[in-house]
């Protein structure tokens, strides 16, 4: 069985501050990377124990080169580096049997979730798929749906799980921490979090092997509505293919090809960084 893992950083147990997630911040970032590496390795080890034979990692955080490749468990392949056309979903295709979302976090628009954002927090203030508020997991589920691959494991805080469940009803959920605010949480001990992820990944693969994990259910045509911080940003967003202005600060991307919707969404992210003043 082939497993594709997209991992972010803010949902990892022990991480509560941007400094722990920001390349260049020195000691705090080094700690964040070590915590992340252990959780990713736990997911790999659990997947292998549950029957996975091939694992591909897609680094989905910031500059997307947050792991020490030498320390990756299970001889997993590692997609890393910036400016990937499919961003958090780079490398997924229909040949995979399962998707894991590791270290994911809640949306910018939802209840307090540690370091919550929906792609770019300086630009996007909310996102809806078919009218329902979503985070990164829900937007990324469009691509999972396109390729017909089930989301089998999700790890992060409990807000993440509430937001992801509609798209991954059969996924094994591992709660790594309870968010208190966007900048505080009650964290599991990292060793406990990793043990839970390892066990959850193994269970997830067994469930996939039994055919017990459905692919995301999203009705077609799908509409991805995006709320922007300013009207300027919404205007720039319309320069992406298929992005249509629906109000001063809202843009809709709609269609039956969910991969095209996601591609346009990635384009929106890249070009609106200019209007975001980055
Ligand atoms: Zn993120």
Q: What is the pLDDT of residue 87?
A: 98
Q: What is the pTM of this model?
A: 0.97
Q: What is the pLDDT of residue 170?
A: 97
What are the tens digits of pLDDT across the range 215-227? 999 999 999 999 9
Q: How far is ligand 1, taken at its centre, from the CA of residue 117, in Å? A: 6
How much of the chain exceeds pLDDT 70, in percent? Answer: 99
Q: What is the pLDDT of residue 276?
A: 66
Q: How far is ligand 1, taken at its centre, from the CA of residue 23, in Å? A: 14
Q: What is the pLDDT of residue 264?
A: 98
Q: What's the rounded mean pLDDT across residues 179-205?
A: 98
pLDDT at 278 over 60: no
pLDDT band at 164 (very low <50, low <70, confident <90, very high): very high
**Class assignment of domain 2-105+135-209?**
alpha beta
What are the tens digits of pLDDT across the range 64-103? 999 999 999 999 999 999 999 999 999 999 999 999 999 9
Q: What is the pLDDT of residue 121?
A: 93
Residue with tokens 């997830």: 204
Q: What's the rounded mean pLDDT across residues 151-166?
A: 98
Q: How far is ligand 1, taken at its centre, from the CA of residue 103, in Å? A: 9
What are the tens digits of pLDDT across the range 42-71? 999 999 999 999 999 999 999 999 999 999
CB contact set of 150 (below 8 Å; sequence gap of 6+): 98, 99, 144, 168, 170, 171, 208, 213, 214, 215, 216
Q: What is the pLDDT of residue 275?
A: 77
Q: What is the pLDDT of residue 131?
A: 97
In terms of Cβ atoms closer than 10 Å to its own Cβ (0-12, 13-18, 19+), residue 241 is exposed
Q: How far is ligand 1, taken at its centre, from the CA of residue 140, in Å? A: 11
Closest among 38, 4, 243, 1 to 147, alpha carbons compared: 4
How much of the chain exceeds pLDDT 90, in percent? Answer: 98
Q: What is the pLDDT of residue 274?
A: 81
Q: How far is ligand 1, taken at its centre, from the CA of residue 116, in Å? A: 7
- Which tokens hold the place of 193? 């979090």
CB contact set of 102 (below 8 Å; sequence gap of 6+): 5, 6, 7, 8, 11, 39, 40, 43, 153, 155, 156, 197
Q: How far is ligand 1, taken at its centre, from the CA of residue 182, in Å? A: 13
Q: What's the rounded mean pLDDT across residues 164-185?
A: 97
DSSP letter at 15 equals: -
Q: What is the DSSP string of 233-275?
A: HHHHHTTSTTEEEEETTEEEEEES-HHHHHHHHHHHHHHHHHH
pLDDT higher at 274 or 236:
236
pLDDT band at 277 (very low <50, low <70, confident <90, very high): low
Q: How far is ligand 1, taken at its centre, from the CA of residue 114, in Å? A: 11
Q: What is the pLDDT of residue 228?
A: 97
Task: Delimit the domains of the chain by residue range.
Answer: 2-105+135-209
């Amino acid at each position: 069985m082939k497993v594709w893992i997209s991992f972010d950083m803010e949902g990892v147990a022990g991480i509560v501050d941007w400094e722990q997630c920001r390349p260049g911040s020195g000691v705090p970032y080094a700690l964040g990377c070590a915590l992340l590496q252990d959780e990713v390795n736990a997911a790999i080890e659990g997947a292998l124990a549950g029957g996975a034979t091939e694992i591909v990692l897609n680094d989905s955080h910031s500059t997307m080169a947050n792991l020490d490749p030498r320390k990756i468990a299970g001889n997993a392949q590692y997609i890393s580096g910036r400016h990937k056309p499919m961003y958090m979903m780079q490398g997924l295709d229909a040949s995979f049997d399962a998707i894991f979302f590791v270290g994911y976090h809640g949306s910018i628009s939802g209840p307090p979730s540690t370091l919550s954002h929906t792609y770019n927090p300086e630009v996007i203030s909310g996102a809806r798929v078919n009218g329902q508020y979503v985070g990164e997991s829900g937007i990324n589920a469009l691509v999972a749906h396109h390729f017909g691959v089930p989301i089998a494991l999700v790890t992060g805080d409990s807000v993440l799980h509430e937001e992801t469940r509609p798209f991954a009803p059969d996924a094994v959920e591992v709660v790594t921490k309870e968010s208190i605010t966007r900048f505080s949480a009650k964290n599991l001990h990292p060793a406990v979090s990793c043990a839970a992820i390892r066990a959850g990944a193994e269970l997830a693969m067994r469930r996939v092997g039994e055919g017990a994990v459905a692919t995301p259910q999203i009705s077609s045509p799908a509409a991805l509505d995006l709320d922007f911080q300013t009207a300027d940003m919404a205007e720039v967003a319309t320069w992406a293919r298929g992005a249509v202005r629906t109000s001063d600060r809202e843009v809709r991307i709609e269609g039956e090809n969910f991969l095209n919707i996601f591609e346009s969404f990635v384009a929106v992210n890249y070009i609106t960084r200019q209007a975001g003043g980055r």
